[in-house]
Amino acid sequence: MVVGNVNATEMCDSVVIGGGPGGYVAAIRLAQLGQDVILIDKRPTLGGVCLNEGCIPSKALIHAAEVFEQMNHASTMGLELDGSVKVNMDKLQDWKSGIIKRLTGGVASLEKGNGVRIIQGVAAFRSPKQLEVIGADDRVQMVDFDNVIIATGSVPLELPPIPVDGDFVIGSTEALDLREVPEHMVVIGGGYIGLELGTVYCKLGAKVTIVELQDQLLGGQLEPEITRVLNRRTKKLGMSVLLKHKAKSATPGKLVVEDTEGNTKDIKADKVLISIGRRPYSDGLGLDKAGLATDDYGFLAVDIERRTSVPHIFAIGDITGQPMLAHKAYREAKVAAEVIAGHPSAYDVRCVPAVMFTDPEIATVGLTEAQAKEAGYDVKIGVFPWKASGRAMSLGATEGLSKIVYDVETERILGVHIAGAHAAELIAEGALALELDAFLDDLAHTIHPHPTLSETVLEAAEIALGSCAHFQSSNR
């Protein structure tokens, strides 16, 4: 129902709902292909959760915490600091905010430079080819279009017994804006977001406890070798981990948790961070008026062109299902835009890499060893431990490994999994190998620069082939 004052109706070839990684890229690509485009976002700044309160700010804090930890241990390399190293959270937050401002401002400039019209407000369908957009001042802007891309992203899951109050109980958004390091922080959820932020504040001086309902961190989806590396490092950092525990209640100063046998215990807490996952942002879009319906989890079904069941309505990013990753949305954005503009395109990727900026970093692409066996492959592996890498030693980063999963009969690479410093940068080689349907010898015969961490992937392939000169292994 239209409320407030109504502006004149805007018309365009294509409209994009949501200015996050998928949405802003889709708008730019549509404009590049000659479309008259409107981009709608509820925020005053573009970039969505990723740029404003997710990927970018979290990685800034992760880097700062890593530098802080390295400074505190620099004496092992003969670098002695005169006096203690201190954290100035106000300056740290200002530095982080400066990065966000530059990036979001850059996105806005790119949109305008490509001729994209931007409307700030909350959009909802009134019909399959019309949107109403309610702005901050309650003014309503009607938008008529030929095609639309839904790129609304996702929002954090809530934990009903322990609602976020923004002060004692916080979400990831508030955790990224803290102006003081809490003495005791409890993180509910042992997924990658909770682990990343928990590690940040642990390194900055907080006593951190992770409470996880499952029996493993990160959902138990990792290779067991990588899980062991993560567990060792978490313990070394001084983080406490309570597996198979659920949070029952929170009152200022403490969190009550319960184990599988019903026993409860109190955990001291100055801040409780809720980080139990995310759900698609599909509520309030008026999808029924567009002829659309989500599944039980709030996701929209799409085909390889990213079309929904209504041919002129496309959807990309988190709202289309797992994996809910910005780089997946980037690719989907370009596919949808190109299809709308009449160019042949399809989302036909073989793999989507996943990265976790924990300590150590974890990156994975393709099948795990267990998944490959379940798929019917006769599987073997090649694992190279970073303790044998000269570059890892020189970085003081020997806690890690590179693992390749491959099919015995063909020696085709099925998966690449890395734990260690800069794993997120290294995994692209594995993704390319899978996209190109590469074999072990493709990696093993590719000369990698020395001394680098990228050599660990080469060495893992050589271990699988039985030709590794730098580590004796029984993998074959």
408 half-sphere exposure, CB direction, 13 A CA radius = 9
Whether the CB-CB separation of 110 and 28 falls below 8 Å is answered with yes
Contacts of 343 (CB under 8 A, 6+ apart): 33
Whether the CB-CB separation of 116 and 39 falls below 8 Å is answered with yes
Stated as kind and residue range, the H or E segment containing 211 is: strand 207-212
Q: How far apart, in whole angstroms, are the C-alpha atoms of residue 386 and residue 403?
A: 11
Closest CA to 271 of 342, 373, 376, 166: 166
Catalytic annotation on 73? no
Active-site residue, selected from the candidate residues 73, 343, 450, 470: 450
Residues in the chain: 476
Question: How far does Cα 345 stand from its chain's mean position?
Answer: 25
Task: Look up tokens 């990228």; give the residue.
Answer: 454
| DSSP conformational letter for 420 | S
SS3 assignment, position 326 = helix
CB atoms within 10 A of CB 387: 12
SS3 assignment, position 359 = coil
Closest CA to 421 of 379, 446, 378, 389: 389
Q: How far apart, in whole angstroms, are the C-alpha atoms of residue 227 and residue 362?
A: 10
SS3 assignment, position 341 = coil
Closest CA to 61 of 211, 199, 238: 199
* Percent of the chain that is helix, strand, coil (3-state, to 5): 35, 25, 40
Q: Using H for helix, E for strand and C for coil, what is the string for 423-470?
A: HHHHHHHHHHHHHCCCEHHHHHCCCCCCCCCCHHHHHHHHHHHCCCCC
CB atoms within 10 A of CB 126: 17
Closest CA to 195 of 253, 166, 160, 237: 237
Residues assigned a catalytic role:
450
